[in-house]
Amino acid sequence: MNQKSAAEIADAAAELIRDLNYATRYGEQGSTVVYPGDVYDTVANLATLSTRLPQTLIQLRVFLLSEYEDGHLLSTNNTLGTDVSTANGGLYDAARAAHELYEALNRAHNGLSPIAYQAPDNA
């Protein structure tokens, strides 16, 4: 089995988000957002994505800190402790921000729930 690396999977996810950006441009060719239900479904899926990010970020922190504690890391800047601390703090903040993103998307999803499309009167 040819398993992709974590970096390759993250790269593929980033490219899919780029595709999503094109698919959501209002009024432009290629947009797949036609009805409020499309927004509702897209926001729900983004909320799901955001709930999964903290686990990944925490697991990356665990790896980094374990390797540091086991003496398996070095820094080309000769500032290993500071570098690990900075990376650890950034990963922690990113996990917290992903959780906050989920909460905001969940609020948006709840607000979208009763919204429906109404055809113009002249249709």
Per-residue pLDDT, 72 = 98
Confidence category of residue 30, pLDDT binned at 50, 70, 90 = confident
- How much of the chain is helix, strand and coil, in % rounded to 5? 70, 0, 30
Residues 6 or more apart whose CB falls under 8 angstroms from that of 32 comprise: 23, 24, 38
> The whole model's pTM is what?
0.89
Tokens of 78: 């000769």
pLDDT average, residue stretch 76-91: 98
Whether the Cβ atoms of residue 58 and residue 95 lie closer than 8 Å to each other: yes
Whether the Cβ atoms of residue 49 and residue 57 lie closer than 8 Å to each other: no
pLDDT score of 1 more than 80: no
Confidence category of residue 123, pLDDT binned at 50, 70, 90 = low
SS3 of 115, please? coil
pLDDT, one tens digit per residue, over 31-68 is 999 999 999 999 999 999 999 999 999 999 999 999 99
pLDDT average, residue stretch 102-107: 98
